[in-house]
Amino acid sequence: MRIASVGTAFPPHRYPQADITEALKEKMQDKLEIPAIMNRLHENCGVDYRHIMFPLDTLGTLTSFGTANDLWIKGAVELGQQAIQKALDQVGLEPGDISAIFFTSVTGIACPSIDARLVNLMGFPKDIKRTPIFGLGCVAGAAGISRAIDYVRAFPKQYAILLSVELCSLTWQENDSSMANLVACGLFGDGAAAVVLAGEETPLAQKPTSVEDPCPRVVDTRSTFYPDTEHLMGWNINQTGFNIVLSAEVPDLVSNELRGTVEDFLSDNELGMGNICSFIFHSGGPKVLKAMESSLGLPPHALAASWNSLRQRGNLSSASVLTVMQDFLLNRPGSPGCYSMIGAMGPAFCSELLLLQW
């Protein structure tokens, strides 16, 4: 089973972090006891730019959950189509070549789901298998690849595709002055990513892989659930939409748990930390990335691609790790035979790891 390609798409509205902060402060000034706190929080998010679904001068016009969710459906279909088409074009496939589509998002809801709407729009086969996923949050990019890999493992002559669309700006709550919301509206951005997964007996998986044309093999996957940690991250959903749950304890859990999880996973594959040439990790935020670096004892710049994604786009929830994967395919592929690890963590609290070989 191989990761054949990654395609990405972003809304046309891209702003410097400082511009977004000022616009939010203006809209929330009556709720902020000390407006300067937002400046400090957003400056510490490690974000320079973000794409958002709406022009900043329209901030505050989404007055209901229904209005925001309608915009999420429209944006998810548009960006999803773009990301999928880019991923398919990179490897010379058509929608008709895909046997299964997995869709993940945690920033909106739709029934029929977004994947169904794209089947109609893009001409996927009528017998395509669809798996919409909701609720995994930031971990869903890595988890979605794992579930799609499970599929092509069972059907080695077939291709599957994973689509992640996260429009985090549509969940911002202007009436919520909690620390968690102030951090979230400075950290999360909007974007989409699609990944083509090739079964072992497909032509894409059979062709020779190289640094110039990388197509890493997925050796193994690992899901880990950390009991009694539901309170750390998620949503409280009410009449205004999605209210963020984001605990300051998350970096501590990463520091305490990630090393053991990674070492157990590698040991089961008769490998150790020294066998991993690169780490393709979710851009969760500065404190989370530093906790990952510290827990695993990583050398300087080991997570440079993750830090760069955070600076240029913010945390894209489930799509972030997929944009980092794209960076590795295009700019940082491993030499043939070496191993890499994809990793993400998210609500429950849980982690998802994938072991790759180039």
Task: Give the Cα separation of 208 and 242 in Å (integer).
Answer: 46
Residues forming a β-bridge with 52: 13
- Lookup result for tokens 């054949």: 4
DSSP letter for each residue of 154-168: HSTT-EEEEEEEEEG
Helix, strand, or coil here: 39?
helix
Residue count (the chain): 358
Q: Residue 163 — left, alpha, or beta (φ > 0 → left; ψ -120 to 50 → alpha)? A: beta
Out of 138, 168, 185, 215, the active site residue is: 138
Task: Give the Cα separation of 306 and 282 in Å (integer).
Answer: 6
User: Do residues 341 and 298 lie in contact, with contact meaning Cβ atoms separated by under 8 Å?
Assistant: no
Classify residue 109 by burial, with Cβ atoms within 10 Å: 0-12, 13-18, 19+. Answer: middle
Q: Let me know if 138 is a catalytic residue.
A: yes
Task: Give the Cα separation of 159 and 123 in Å (integer).
Answer: 15
Strand 190-198 versus strand 233-238 pairing type: unpaired
DSSP, res 230: G
Residue type (1 letter), 19: D
Question: 3-state SS string over 233-285?
Answer: EEEEEECCEEEEEECCCHHHHHHHHHHHHHHHHHHHCCCCHHHEEEEEECCCC
The kind and range of the H/E element at 297 are none
**Catalytic center residues:** 138
